């Protein structure tokens, strides 16, 4: 491992001595003592998420409903009761989709961030910093441009029914392309350099941001298209459809299936790739699985909800500070903590601002930006070795 990579490692990545062999010898007793705490935190997060889901269904963008009305609407949504009068049942269905998408997006972004931080042994790694969300935003903007009748794909302008699916598909492709570019440039001799990866991520963000600004300037006189593109950059949970729910949970399910295949290995990564290889870990396989799962989770999240930054940075870091640094517990906890933070912040600011709610990407940036600055200041002694 090169000196810059060593300099960016967390000060204490796992409990116990640095070498994996001694770590495994000392860890069973500590793991047994830690499991009840992790289980309590998981139960607390599950209960908190259930309460936030109920609150979000009760109080949506159109205002508060009574509990009886909400329960009847949910029963009708499941085919167990008569539908609500007028447009109320449609509104309830939109609220259900909104909540489910928020849960899936929060879990996907938190899992993506935790996987990246585990692979690169760096608290600053996150999908938004590595260019994944910027690539998705550019892909979505190009799709909106095509649907609006601009450029070589102007023939799609009449396919209004396919517009949401096309935007999601292009966002997904943009996210995956950005991931491939960043990973390819940062890989030398089959090994990924963390400093190079972060710098390439900054460059991809700058290029994608410049292209997006150019596209927005191009359509500035078409207010509808300009507003659609601007809304995507802030993220949105409103007016989500059933296919959004299936897309985000399908991608999340595939990404989460990687957890038992890489969690123990990522714990061994904390002492360095050389030590992990000495312990018998196939480091290239772990990197490939973790990076692919992270890219997939981030891509589907941005494809259905737009750019929601910093969630993948903040949630895993808070769990490490409050609960555990072990990826075997951290990765599953992210699936609960991510939705709690995203949906909880959305509900809280909706209640406090009395209907004048900010976009979720704005809220997470206001919370995550200062937190990212805090991490940089906290780790500046190690960053100075670049």
Residue 166 lies in a domain: yes
Residue 63 lies in a domain: no
Residue 148 lies in a domain: yes
Q: Tell me the per-residue pLDDT of 52-90, one tens digit each, with 9 for 90 and over.
A: 998 888 887 777 787 777 887 788 778 777 777 777 788
Per-residue pLDDT for 4 more than 70? no
Per-residue pLDDT for 364 more than 50? yes
Residue 65 lies in a domain: no
What's the domain count of the chain? 1
Q: What CATH number does residue 310 fall under?
A: 1.10.3470.10
pLDDT in the model for residue 76: 77
More confident residue, 34 or 165: 165
At residue 110 the predicted structure's pLDDT band, cuts being 50, 70 and 90, is very high
Q: Tell me the per-residue pLDDT of 304-317, one tens digit each, with 9 for 90 and over.
A: 888 887 888 889 98
At residue 31 the predicted structure's pLDDT band, cuts being 50, 70 and 90, is low
pTM of the model: 0.79
Residue 36 lies in a domain: yes
Q: Which domain holds residue 209?
A: 3-54+96-383
More confident residue, 211 or 81: 211
Residue 187, classed as helix, strand or coil, is strand
Residue 245 lies in a domain: yes
Quote the CA–CA distance of 257 and 18 in Å, as a whole number.
28
Residue 70 lies in a domain: no
Q: Tell me the per-residue pLDDT of 117-166, one tens digit each, with 9 for 90 and over.
A: 888 787 777 787 778 778 888 887 887 777 765 655 544 445 555 666 77
Residue 77 lies in a domain: no
């Amino acid at each position: 491992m090169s000196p810059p990579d060593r300099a960016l490692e967390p000060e204490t990545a796992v409990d116990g001595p640095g070498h994996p062999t001694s770590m495994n010898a000392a860890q069973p007793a500590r793991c047994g003592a830690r499991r009840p705490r992790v289980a309590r935190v998981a139960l607390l997060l599950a209960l908190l998420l259930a309460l936030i889901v109920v609150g979000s269904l009760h109080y949506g963008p159109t205002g508060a409903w009574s509990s009886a009305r909400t329960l009847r609407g949910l029963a009708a949504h499941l085919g167990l009761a008569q539908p609500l009068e007028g447009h109320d049942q449609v509104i309830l269905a939109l609220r259900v989709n909104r909540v489910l998408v928020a849960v899936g997006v929060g879990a996907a972004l938190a899992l993506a961030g935790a996987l990246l931080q585990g692979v690169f042994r760096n608290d600053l790694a996150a999908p938004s910093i590595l260019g994944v969300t910027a690539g998705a935003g550019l892909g979505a903007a190009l799709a909106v441009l095509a649907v609006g009748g601009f450029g070589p794909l102007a023939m799609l302008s009449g396919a209004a029914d396919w517009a949401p699916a096309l935007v999601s598909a292009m966002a997904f492709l943009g996210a995956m392309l950005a991931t491939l570019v960043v990973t390819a440039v940062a890989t030398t001799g089959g090994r990924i350099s963390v400093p190079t990866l972060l710098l390439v991520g900054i460059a991809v963000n700058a290029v994608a941001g410049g292209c997006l600004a150019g596209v927005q300037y191009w359509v500035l006189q078409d207010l509808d298209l300009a507003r659609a593109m601007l809304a995507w950059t802030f993220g949105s949970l409103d007016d989500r459809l059933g296919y959004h729910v299936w897309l985000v949970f399908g991608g999340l399910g595939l990404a989460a299936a990687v957890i038992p295949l890489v969690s123990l290995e990522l714990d061994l990564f904390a002492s360095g790739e050389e030590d992990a290889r000495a312990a018998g870990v196939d480091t290239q396989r772990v990197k490939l699985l973790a990076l692919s799962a992270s890219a997939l989770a981030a891509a589907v999240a941005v494809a259905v909800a737009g750019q929601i930054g910093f969630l993948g940075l903040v949630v895993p870091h808070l769990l490490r500070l409050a609960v555990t640094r072990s990826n075997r517990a951290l990765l599953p906890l992210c699936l609960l903590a991510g939705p709690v933070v995203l949906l909880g912040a959305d509900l809280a600011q909706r209640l406090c601002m009395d209907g004048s709610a900010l976009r979720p990407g704005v809220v997470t940036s206001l919370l995550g930006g200062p937190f990212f600055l805090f991490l940089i200041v906290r780790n500046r002694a190690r960053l100075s070795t670049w």
